[in-house]
Amino acid sequence: MSILSGKHILLGVTAGIAAYKSASLVRSLIKAGASVRVVMTEAAKDFVTPLTLSTLSRNEVHSSFTKKEDVNAMWTNHVELGLWADLMIIAPATANTLSKMANGASDNLLLATYLSAKCPVYFAPAMDLDMYKHPSSEASFLKLQSYGNIMIPATSGELASGLIGKGRMAEPDDIVTFIESDVLSKLPLKGKRVLITAGPTYEAIDPVRFIGNHSSGMMGCKLALQAAALGAEVDLILGPSNIKVDHSLINVHNVVSGDEMYEAAHTVFKNCDIVIAAAAVADYKPVNVAPEKIKKDDKNIHIELTKTKDILSSLGAIKEKQYILGFALETENEVDNATKKLHKKNLDAIVLNSLNDKGAGFKTKTNKITFIEKNGSVTTYDLKSKAEVAIDIFEKITAQVV
């Protein structure tokens, strides 16, 4: 999964021969998981049709404030388009459009939308060699970058005029790669490595039976996705779960038993900056595992159990620079019990779940948490989706580690 997955991207297309590449650019952005809308100048329609871009983006293409052929036409709200976007890309960006952008001109929908955008704006120049080198173009490049816009440099090659030199718009896949790298470099957890344990563990009784619990692993998986969205490289150690996590920054380690989770966690722990133990590890396991299925008969059976390894305590005992966050599921004296666990296991913070809270706990899409820090700070949150809870948790973490 690309870092652009789920992003709202507004693509501005201007009237240059490189406009034909905008179709491939839309496809590449869609492939990366982004939602794409297109705004183009009227003159750009001479180079690529709105129908092509609409089909590829799966959204209506806008080129004017109203549809002139429709007497009942609605106004195209450039402000709304600008606010919708997480990123705006102007590609190709002609010398004419760049000059207008630099000087605040607003004589078409694309320029009005650019001036309304509150998001990062990328521009990919496309023009002939002499135009690219002209002092006015260079002044536009510098002025736009001084406004905070990000320039995607043109490349060298054969140009529409037949000349060979700099001025070719970057290739669509290279534009996507450039933006992905730029977005990633600015994320708060860029360069950080996060270890997350998630899901249940199954402790075998025999080849077909086990001791386990009802954890789905959803909370831990949402935390992994949020960590990756913030730029971290994530090691997700996931017990038996039906949830699939697909992200280029997440390395999933599938395990079954508590011992396997223990070994996996200790393998990657040393190189981690942040550790979140969200797994519901079985507290006990059978001393002896039957090699064959235990046959059912009329007699009761007795299974001797022993404690499983305490993964969180073992990591807390050897931590150096790591920030460690645990989870506590309680039913009584919740804050006191969770706080005791925090200090006993040498944690930096703990997330408290109470089974007394409706909508929290296992097998739900929501959660209600209390975030307790080692300095005694206690923050209680309302019931939210687990994705929103993951955002809240990482806001607390990044305040401490970034």
Planar angle of CA 342, 345, 346, nearest 5 degrees: 80
**Cα atoms found within 13 Å of the Cα of residue 57, Cβ hemisphere only:** 24
Q: Known catalytic residue: 213?
A: yes
Q: What percent of the chain has pLDDT over 70?
A: 96
pLDDT band at 69 (very low <50, low <70, confident <90, very high): low
Among the listed residues 77, 213, 337, 346, the single catalytic one is 213
Instruction: Compute the distance between CA of residue 348 and CA of residue 139 in angstroms, rounded to an integer.
Output: 51
Two structure tokens written together for 389 = 């809870």
- Partnered with residue 150 across adjacent β-strands are 122
List every span in the chain annotated with CATH 3.40.50.1950: 8-185
List every span in the chain annotated with CATH 3.40.50.10300: 193-401
User: What are the counts of helices (DSSP H) followed by strands (DSSP E) for the chain?
Assistant: 13, 22
- Partnered with residue 195 across adjacent β-strands are 235, 275
Looking at the structure, give the CATH architecture of the domain made up of residues 193-401: 3-Layer(aba) Sandwich (3.40)
Average pLDDT, the chain: 93
pLDDT tens, 337-379?
Answer: 999 999 999 999 999 987 777 767 676 889 999 999 999 999 9
Q: pLDDT value at position 3? A: 87
Residue 223 has pLDDT above 70, yes or no: yes
pLDDT tens, 225-249?
Answer: 999 999 999 999 999 999 999 888 9
Give the domain 8-185 fold.
Rossmann fold (3.40.50)
Q: pLDDT value at position 402? A: 81
Mean pLDDT across 389-400: 96
Q: pLDDT value at position 320? A: 94
Mean pLDDT across 316-338: 93
